[in-house]
C-alpha cells in the first residue's frame, strides 16, 4: 500500500505538476480512499518527505554501485562512472526530480538532506582515496562536497543537453578541480591551503 501510494505521488508530480499534487489526487491515482492514504501519511508534506526519502535512497544505491564499479579504474574513468550514475538517475524522471528539488527547498529537511549528502560524500571520498597520489586537493571530504555541488549545478543548468555532454562537462570540471597544481595559486592562497592542511 505504501509503495503504491508513493508511486502514485511520483506520477502525479511528474505528469500533472505541483499545482495538481494533493492527497485527494494521489489517492485517486493510487486507487485507494483518501482515508487509507491518511493512515500512512497524515498530510501532503508527510507524503512528500517519504517520497524524497525514497528517491534519496535510490540515488544512494546507484552511487554505491558506481563506487564499487570504480575499483581498479583510473581517476578519470572513476569520475566518469560516478557522473554517469548521477546523471542517469536524474534523467530517469527529470520532471519528478525538478518537483522534488523545489519541495526540498520549501520543506524543513536539513537533517534528511544532510544525511543523504553525507552518504553520497562517503562514496565519493572512498573513490578519491584510491587516487590520493594524483589529487592535489588537500581535503578529500571537502573535495567530494565540492564535486557534488559542481555536478548538481551542471546537471540542473542545462536540462536540454544530452547526458553524454553533461557527463563530459562534469568530468572535466571535477578532474580540473582535483588535479589543479597548487603552485598555480597565488602566494596568499598557497599559505591558506597549507595552513588548512596542517590544521
Instruction: Please spell the DSSP secondary structure of 11-66, one letter per residue.
Output: HHHHHH-GGG-SHHHHHHHHTS-HHHHHHH-SSHHHHHHHHHHHHHHHHHHHHHHH
Average pLDDT, the chain: 88
pLDDT for residue 163 is more than 80: yes
b vs e for 90-102, b when ≥16 Cβ sit within 10 Å of the residue's Cβ? Answer: beebeebbbbbee
* Residue 51 pLDDT > 90: yes
Which tens digits make up the pLDDT trace of 138-155? 899 999 999 989 998 998
How do residues 77-100 score in pLDDT, each as one tens digit? 999 999 999 999 888 888 898 898
Task: Quote the cell numbers at residue 123.
Answer: 562514496
Give the three-class secondary structure for 107. Answer: coil
Statement: the pTM of the whole predicted model exceeds 0.95: no
Dist CA 37 CA 47 (whole Å)? 9
pLDDT at residue 173 tops 60:
yes
- Residue 199: pLDDT over 60: no
pLDDT tens-digit series, residues 179-196: 988 765 555 555 555 555
DSSP states along 154-166: HHHH-TTS-HHHH
Helices 44-69, 2-16: axis angle to 10 degrees equals 90
Backbone phi, psi, residue 131, to 5°: -120, 30
Residue 198 has pLDDT above 60, yes or no: no
Report the phi/psi class of residue 192: left, alpha or beta, with left for phi > 0 and alpha for psi in -120 to 50.
alpha
pLDDT of res. 194: 58
Report pLDDT for 25.
Answer: 97
Amino acid at each position: 500500500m505504501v509503495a503504491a501510494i508513493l508511486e502514485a505521488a511520483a506520477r502525479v508530480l511528474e505528469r500533472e505538476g505541483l499545482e495538481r499534487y494533493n492527497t485527494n489526487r494521489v489517492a485517486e491515482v493510487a486507487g485507494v480512499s483518501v482515508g487509507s492514504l491518511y493512515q500512512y501519511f497524515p498530510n501532503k508534506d508527510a507524503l512528500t518527505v517519504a517520497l524524497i526519502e525514497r528517491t534519496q535512497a535510490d540515488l544512494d544505491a546507484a552511487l554505491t554501485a558506481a563506487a564499487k564499479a570504480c575499483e581498479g579504474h583510473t581517476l578519470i574513468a572513476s569520475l566518469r562512472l560516478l557522473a554517469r550514475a548521477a546523471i542517469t538517475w536524474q534523467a530517469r524522471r527529470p520532471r519528478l526530480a525538478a518537483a522534488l528539488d523545489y519541495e526540498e527547498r520549501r520543506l524543513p529537511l536539513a537533517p534528511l538532506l544532510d544525511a543523504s549528502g553525507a552518504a553520497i560524500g562517503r562514496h565519493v571520498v572512498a573513490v578519491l582515496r584510491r587516487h590520493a597520489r594524483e589529487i592535489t586537493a588537500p581535503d578529500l571530504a571537502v573535495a567530494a562536497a565540492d564535486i557534488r555541488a559542481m555536478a548538481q549545478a551542471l546537471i540542473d543548468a542545462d536540462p536540454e543537453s544530452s547526458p553524454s555532454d553533461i557527463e563530459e562537462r562534469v568530468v572535466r570540471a571535477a578532474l580540473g578541480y582535483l588535479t589543479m597544481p597548487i603552485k598555480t595559486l597565488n602566494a596568499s592562497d598557497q599559505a591558506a591551503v597549507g595552513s588548512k592542511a596542517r590544521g
